[in-house]
Structure 1
């Protein structure tokens, strides 16, 4: 994984200031002639050599892993955020997990990903909305599996696992969680809601010449007022009313569940998950 020199510098700075050392004192401790190199490290301009990094780790009684990547939790989180989203299996499992756990109707709304934004400004606004809605959801999902992965590797003190190994561990945890969540009320509720959301209830109910011609060609005689289009429209409206009512009732059940769940936990219902 690429090393972030700025973050390495911040960790060195924090360790030095916590220890109450000046740059000059730290430079002397790791065998440097002056403080300018320490300053360059802390500003993220340069990265200490392997030899100097080892001396810093020994001096501060931390691992070189920590200096380079932060603690194991930070390391795992960074890999999931930077590498995981580009990994096909991890990405699929992440979104399945989100699909099962979030009840916010805006997160997976097709409007967020709508290709109808033709102007540059519209596309920019759409990207900002998507980022504002989706990034926190992704980060929240990732944070749910980080502790389990960290616990698995908590005895690793010499070398942190390679990113690919971390990603595979994340996939394993996601798969386990998904199997369980699919059996819960929230998992089943969200699966039903997504199915309903995938049906555009009001598509093609307005007059459309091609649509009418397609339906009417199956009806004879043409003079019959109950032609194919009229019949289709009649029953589509009945179906839409039924599905809309079902959706509303389902949301009421979920709201009651969320309220009772919050009460048992001594908190207010999460507005982000209420419909």
Structure 2
């Protein structure tokens, strides 16, 4: 992953100020000629060599990779948002996860991608949200070295896969899958006068009334599915209300117990 010189410099400056060290002291400790070099590092004009970065990490009591990339979760997020999106396995699992955790049909149908000016904010919000949710599941490095790009991507794929298997068994996972199926059916497509459909249906049913019968039963089916969708939405609202009621009750019990 490409290093962000400005971000590295900011971390170096923050650590130095936290420890109340002068640039001259840092320069002397890590073995460079003067504070100008340290200033260049902190301004993001240049990067310390591997040897100097190791010395700085020892001085500030952090790992060299922390100085390079910041906290591990920031490092992993950047990898997944860039290199991860170029991995077919990661992409499939990420969007399956989004499919199970959102009821936004515009995102999952691809409409936002096909627009002349794609809604990149909406797309990024779903990608960022999904990645952020699985970051705590990634193994935190127990050494001073962060895992490489491919390892992080594979760990994220494993985390998505495990989370997906769990979510598919929840009420919300099943609800979102059913809603997606309903959204994929255009209930009202061509219910108006359609000569081509009329000719096809009348020929297939060997009666001039085939089109009328088909249209009448499509209307019945639409009503049935519309009522089901409304009932399903009401059930989802009740589910979330029950969760909130339970959370409030738990909070009340905790307050009472602490008195």
Q: Same fold (TM over 0.5)?
A: yes
Q: 1:259 to 1:105 in 2, by over 3 A?
A: farther
Q: Which runs of 4+ in 1 moved over 6 A?
A: none
Q: 1:50 maps to what in 2? A: 50
Q: Is the 8 A contact 1:5 1:45 kept in 2?
A: yes
Contact 1:99 1:190 in 2 (8 A): yes
Q: Does 1:148 align with 2:137?
A: yes
Map of 1:139 onto structure 2: 128
Which consecutive unaligned segments of at least 5 residues does structure 1 have? 118-122, 268-275
* 1: CA distance, partners of 2:108 / 2:204: 38
Q: Does the CA contact (< 8 Å) of 1:106 and 1:133 recur in 2?
A: no
Secondary structure at the aligned position of 1:266 is classed as helix
Equivalent residues in 2 for 1:93-242, closer than 5 Å = 93-108=93-108, 110-113=110-113, 115=114, 117=115, 123-124=116-117, 127=118, 130-149=119-138, 152-155=139-142, 157-220=143-206, 224=208, 226=209, 228-242=210-224
Q: Is the 8 A contact 1:100 1:181 kept in 2?
A: yes
**Structure 2: distance between partners of 1:22 and 1:208:** 81
1:273 aligns to what? Answer: none
Secondary structure at the counterpart of residue 248 of structure 1 = helix
- Structure 2: how far apart are the matches of 1:51 and 1:220? 85
Name the CA distance, whole Å, in 1 between partners of 2:206 and 2:55.
90
Label 1:206 to 1:44 Cα distance change in 2 as closer, same or farther (>3 A).
farther
1:263: how far off? 2.1
Distance 2:93 2:145 in 1: 27
Q: Which has the higher contact order (CA 8 A, sep 6+)?
A: 1
Preserved CA contact (<8 Å) 1:10 1:42: yes
Name the count of aligned residue pairs.
249
Provide Cα deviations, 1:119-143, integer angstroms capped at 9, x if missing partner: xxxx22xx2xx32323222222212
Relative to the length of structure 1, the TM-score reads 0.83
Mean alpha-carbon deviation: is it higher for 208-217 or for 187-196? Answer: 208-217
3-state DSSP of counterpart to 1:265:
helix
Shift of 1:247: 0.4
Task: Compute the RMSD of aligned alpha carbons.
Answer: 2.1
Conserved 8 A contact 1:8-1:44: yes
More helix as a share of residues: 2
